[in-house]
Amino acid sequence: MSLAFHETEACEGVVQYIERREGAIRHDVKAQDRDPNTPPDVRVELTLRLQGSLYAIEHTGIEPFDGFMAHQNRAADLFDPIQTLATLALGPS
């Protein structure tokens, strides 16, 4: 199982909420974070317009410590071989 921050899904939920609240539909949606021409120091997840207002949506993942997500996503590669060897040595439970 791989852990992820689900930025796209989280931002979509926020945008849908704003659309319902404002009774309007988004337009001019740009995935700024994925555009290689956007300078790194001004990137947000996405921008959009709703009833003439510009919205910038950003999703920030919070890790309990640096590298947590990478460590969790690598854990199976580290521990599965140990579990396999232990099961072979001790027998199934």
What predicted TM-score, i.e. pTM, was given to this entire model? Answer: 0.61
Q: Is the pLDDT of residue 4 over 80?
A: no
Tell me: pLDDT of 3 over 90: no
- Say if residue 34's pLDDT is above 80: no
H or E segment and range at residue 87: helix 68-90
Whether the CB-CB separation of 28 and 48 falls below 8 Å is answered with yes
Residues 36-45 have a mean pLDDT of 78
Query: Which one of 23-27, 29-33, 75-79, 88-92 scores highest in mean pLDDT?
Result: 23-27
Residue 11 has pLDDT above 80, yes or no: yes
The per-residue pLDDT for 49 is 96
